[in-house]
Amino acid sequence: MKRYSFILTVLLAFSAVFAMAQTAEQTVVEDFKPSSVNQPGKEYPMVNSEGRVRVQISAPEAERVQLDISAVKYDLVKDENGVWTGESAPQDEGFHYYQLWVDGAAVPDPNSLYFYGASRWGSGIEIPAHDQEFYALKNVPHGEVRELQYFSESNNAMRRCFVYTPPGYDENPEKRYPVLYLQHGGGENETGWSSQGHAGLIMDNLIAEGKTVPFIIVMDNGNWAMPRPPRNREGGERPRTWPPEGWADGFMNTLLKDIIPMIDGKYRTLANAENRAMAGLSMGGMQTRVITLANPDVFSHVGMFSGGSITMDDIEQHPDFKEKVKLLFVSYGSREIENPRPGPWGDPKENTEALKKAGMNTHFYVSPETAHEWQSWRRSLYQFAPLLFKN
């Protein structure tokens, strides 16, 4: 009997410890504040000091409502008035897309501002970052992000791009500027870098601090048909066959035949390769890789953010790239490096260091504690811009 009493006591002790651990794990710090990208006057969504996101929506007839953020769904709880409330686990610093699921239907949160990502307009939220000052709106001279509609002969269609002109562009009609062609990721569009990425604010702050030369940024829509990678017999990816040759030709033709000539014609650019750069994130980084390898006489500065890398084999096949490109910048989020996806380019850091040893001016940057997300790419632009057009 004593033996059973002892076992029962131990089990109860373990249960108490487990319950305490669960309670501690579920404890939420109640210092939530409205998100900085809420619609005017809206209290929700909110963010607390842990980086948790709390949402609230009225849906009296719904049976189940969930918050979907960072590929994880969290159940909300309905009160007696039919208002659903709940929060996520702590999120990484920076910008995140999210949506709500109402009885199986994915919908944007009516309280947030909308951003174009995942091939749709949807909700987004900012988790305050410890280094957010570099893209904060400050009392410094500001440039302009201009919307430009144009006709593309290559596509026989109207297109749109956004053009950042640095502070003082209109005041000094004799001054000409270098140009960076900056591309978004898959499922995003030409609004991404100025909206989610804060490219204009990053440049304004860098210029005000004297950390970069002023230059123009062109942000166009690079979405093009990109086939899914094939799979091998075991069901895994076969990355060395993907992306197939020619997948970036559509945007490359538009960029070379329509966009660059138009920008050089409408804006006061320094219209030569020495003063022209191309960079992009994710799909835009892969486009940058393909386009600049094929056209080293057009671009002399190259940036790839979470979008592959340049290998020694690439240089052997494109020797002019090594001779003509003055800067190659490659970056990733630290979580991408810690959990690499298999790809046809191998280890991006090893590739970049090998090119440096071969005589190229290369830089490899890792964004701390971020993954394949906008905070990685904001930081990448912040690191990349001061390296451009230094000569």
Indicate left, alpha or beta for 210 from its phi (over 0: left) and psi (-120 to 50: alpha).
Answer: left
In this structure, are strands 216-220 and 157-165 parallel, antiparallel, or unpaired? antiparallel
Of the two residues 13 and 231, the one the predictor is more confident about is: 231
pLDDT, mean of residues 12-21: 38
Of the two residues 239 and 354, the one the predictor is more confident about is: 354
Task: Please say if the pLDDT value at position 13 is more than 70.
Answer: no
pLDDT > 70 in the chain, percent: 87
Task: Please say if the pLDDT value at position 242 is more than 70.
Answer: no
pLDDT of residue 228: 55
Of the two residues 3 and 359, the one the predictor is more confident about is: 359
Task: Please say if the pLDDT value at position 15 is more than 50.
Answer: no
Of the two residues 112 and 25, the one the predictor is more confident about is: 112
What CATH architecture does domain 33-128 belong to? Sandwich (2.60)
pLDDT of residue 16: 41
pLDDT of residue 229: 55
What CATH architecture does domain 133-387 belong to? 3-Layer(aba) Sandwich (3.40)
Task: Please say if the pLDDT value at position 101 is more than 50.
Answer: yes
121-137 pLDDT, tens digit each: 999 999 999 999 999 99
pLDDT of residue 231: 52
Task: Please say if the pLDDT value at position 165 is more than 60.
Answer: yes
Task: Please say if the pLDDT value at position 232 is more than 70.
Answer: no
pLDDT of residue 226: 52
Task: Please say if the pLDDT value at position 185 is more than 90.
Answer: yes
Task: Please say if the pLDDT value at position 359 is more than 70.
Answer: yes
Of the two residues 55 and 24, the one the predictor is more confident about is: 55
pLDDT > 90 in the chain, percent: 83
| Model pTM score | 0.89
Q: Cis peptide before 261, with omega less than 30 degrees from 0?
A: no
Task: Give ranges for CATH 3.40.50.1820 in the chain.
Answer: 133-387
Task: Please say if the pLDDT value at position 343 is more than 80.
Answer: no
Which H, E and C letters describe the chain, residue by residue? CHHHHHHHHHHHHHHHHHHHHHHHHHCCCCCCEECCCECCCCCCCEECCCCCEEEEEECCCCCCEEEEECCEEEECEECCCCEEEEECCCCCCEEEEEEEEECCEEECCCCECEEEECCEEEEEEEECCCCHHHHCCCCCCCCEEEEEEEEECCCCEEEEEEEEECCCCCCCCCCCECEEEEECCCCCCCCHHHHCCCHHHHHHHHHHCCCCCCCEEEEECCCCCCCCCCECCCCCECHHHCCCCCCCHHHHHHHHHHHHHHHHHHCCECCCHHHEEEEEECHHHHHHHHHHHHCCCCCCEEEEECCCCCCHHHHHHCHHHHHHCCEEEEEEEHHHHHCCCCCCCCCHHHHHHHHHHCCCCEEEEEECCCCCCHHHHHHHHHHHHHHCCCC
CA dihedral (27, 29, 32, 36) in degrees, to 10, reads -100
